[in-house]
Amino acid sequence: MSTVTDLLTANRRYASTFTHGNLTAPPTRRIAILTCMDARLDPAKFLGLSEGEAHVIRNAGGRANPDALNALVISQQFLDTNEVVVIHHTQCGMTGLRDEAVTELLSERFGGPVERQQYGGFDDPVQSVLDDIATIRADARIPDDLPISGFIYDVETGLLTPVD
Amino acid sequence: MSTVTDLLTANRRYASTFTHGNLTAPPTRRIAILTCMDARLDPAKFLGLSEGEAHVIRNAGGRANPDALNALVISQQFLDTNEVVVIHHTQCGMTGLRDEAVTELLSERFGGPVERQQYGGFDDPVQSVLDDIATIRADARIPDDLPISGFIYDVETGLLTPVD
């Protein structure tokens, strides 16, 4: 558990100078960010977000999968956000990933049949951002006039490029 | 789009001093963090994580829902993580949230029937962490010996408390 011990040491250091104890749940910038779990991405840092300012939803690829859509609905209906930003990135581990290949690998490694799931792999991050914006728009629980923008984060430069 | 303009300005500032351009996808600390989308939580900051070190999966509540489980599987099988930390928090917006209440509110606001979904509300964050650890353990795609630990983050102090 040495990694966790290190994280807890860092946490005590963080708490020792903590100044955000009076924040409430609704994000002050009224925005939700949907992005990838990738370790190279620190969305708060690369977007200049402080504690309390934005919801951050992260999964494999930053996809608008069913649970991410549920999170966006909660964010908008209960915590007053009114804008979404979808950010995928270069060199994503989900590039080229096929559900069949994942299922096959799991069956091999775990020695038995594994139910096939939708993991959300894609071929092109620009297209996957466009697809996810369309998926969010198509959800009956999302307001028609919700501003949604999309970007690609470049892991080699730290820069965002808009997807139009 | 003024919020997004501000985020892009902050992004250019971040990129102007960016030094992480040579990182690869597998997290160097080989750990995945599962936590809530709540704006008050900055997991990289409160755990002392730098770019490249850990996967961070976030949704409404930090729940081990199907898409989070898929992300953990990808993290472990394709990107070599071998440990999970589940972090829920005090004052979570998911506390007391009932799927029926969400569905009813959505039907009222959008003027029509809305399919009921599992949003992941809970009553007690300690119990929800224990439930989610059990859910991860029960998944046939998760190694039996995977270390999983659980914590509650206190939004008033910035401190983590272990859930045993």
Contact residues on chain B for A47, CB-CB shorter than 8 A:
7, 10-11, 14
Given a cut of 60, whether residue B1 has pLDDT beyond it is no
**Could you give the CA distance from residue B51 to residue A156 in angstroms, rounded to a whole number?**
12
- What DSSP character marks residue A49? P
Once rounded to an integer, what is the mean pLDDT over residues B114-120? Answer: 94
Given a cut of 90, whether residue A10 has pLDDT beyond it is yes
Please report which confidence band the pLDDT of residue A14 belongs to, taking 50, 70 and 90 as the band edges: very high
Q: How much is the pLDDT for B113?
A: 87
Cβ contact A55–B70 (<8 Å): no
Taking only the tens place, the pLDDT of each residue in A100-116 is 999 999 999 999 889 99
Is A145 an 8 Å CB contact of chain B? no
Given a cut of 60, whether residue A67 has pLDDT beyond it is yes
Once rounded to an integer, what is the mean pLDDT over residues B134-153? Answer: 97
Look up tokens 């949907």; give the residue: A34
Find the CB nearest A4 among B12, B52, B85.
Answer: B85
Portion 75-134 of B in contact with A at CB < 8 A: 75, 77-79, 83, 85, 91-94, 97, 102, 105-106, 109-110, 112, 114, 117-120
Find the CB nearest A77 among B105, B140, B156.
Answer: B105
Average of per-residue pLDDT values in chain A: 97
Given a cut of 80, whether residue A94 has pLDDT beyond it is yes
Cβ contact A66–B67 (<8 Å): yes
Once rounded to an integer, what is the mean pLDDT over residues A40-44? Answer: 98
Given a cut of 80, whether residue B14 has pLDDT beyond it is yes
**Could you give the CA distance from residue A112 to residue B154 in angstroms, rounded to a whole number?**
41
The complex's ipTM works out to: 0.98
Q: How much is the pLDDT for A164?
A: 87
User: What is the value of pTM for the model shown?
Assistant: 0.98
Number of A to B CB contacts under 8 A, please give it: 268
Taking only the tens place, the pLDDT of each residue in B16-48 is 999 999 999 999 999 999 999 999 999 999 999
Q: How much is the pLDDT for A149?
A: 98
Strand order in the sheet with B148-153: A160-163, A148-153, A84-89, A31-36, A54-59, B54-59, B31-36, B84-89, B148-153, B160-163
Distances (CA, A) of A127 to A63, A132, A155: 12, 9, 18
Given a cut of 70, whether residue B105 has pLDDT beyond it is yes
Q: How far apart are the first and last CA of chain A?
A: 45
Once rounded to an integer, what is the mean pLDDT over residues A56-77? Answer: 98
Distance, in angstroms, between A122 CA and closest chain B CA?
14
Given a cut of 70, whether residue B139 has pLDDT beyond it is yes
Distance, in angstroms, between A59 CA and closest chain B CA?
5
Given a cut of 60, whether residue B84 has pLDDT beyond it is yes
What six digits make up the tokens of B157? 């102090």
Contact residues on chain A for B145, CB-CB shorter than 8 A:
none
Q: How much is the pLDDT for B40?
A: 98
